[in-house]
């Protein structure tokens, strides 16, 4: 199963899961150089809901937030690394500086910020 989805496909999947009464949690971040603190935080985030969606900042948004020399790891690789974690159900990449537009689009049950 491909866990890395565009926002339209992700919304379709989440709507099906909602019909099964699944609780959906949402978190986001740059995750440029994943470390054990990220892993622990994400594992705990999964404990709050049936489904954990991770919204990943795009390369352009990371650069705007963290500076010209970032990200160190390209968005496709960051997404693949995060999708490999068993407790993350879906990953989507967003280009905006904040996830507000995506949150309003997906309408998760729970918002988690580390």
CATH number at residue 19: 3.40.50.620
Confidence (pTM): 0.95
Is residue 2 in some structural domain?
Answer: no
| pLDDT tens for the 114 residues of the chain, in order | 699 999 999 999 999 999 999 999 999 999 999 999 999 999 999 999 999 999 999 999 999 999 999 999 999 999 999 999 999 999 999 999 999 999 999 999 999 997
Is residue 1, in this structure, part of any structural domain at all?
Answer: no
Give 23-52 pLDDT, tens digit per residue. Answer: 999 999 999 999 999 999 999 999 999 999
Total domain count, the chain: 1
- pLDDT at site 114: 78
**Is 46 a domain residue?**
yes
Q: Which domain holds residue 76?
A: 7-111
Is 100 part of a structural domain of the chain? yes
Cβ neighbours of residue 66 under 8 Å, at least 6 residues apart? 30, 32
- Bridge-based pairing of strands 24-29 and 110-111 is parallel
């Amino acid at each position: 199963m491909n866990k890395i989805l565009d926002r339209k496909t992700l919304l379709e999947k989440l709507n099906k899961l909602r019909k099964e009464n699944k609780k959906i949690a949402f978190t986001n971040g740059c995750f440029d150089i994943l470390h054990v603190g990220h892993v622990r935080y994400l594992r705990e985030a999964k404990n709050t809901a049936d489904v954990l969606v991770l919204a990943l900042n795009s390369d352009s948004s990371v650069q705007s937030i963290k500076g010209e020399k970032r990200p160190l790891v390209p968005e496709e690789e960051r997404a693949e690394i995060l999708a490999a974690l068993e407790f993350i159900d879906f990953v989507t990449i967003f280009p905006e500086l904040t996830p507000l537009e995506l949150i309003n689009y997906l309408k998760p049950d729970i918002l988690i910020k580390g």
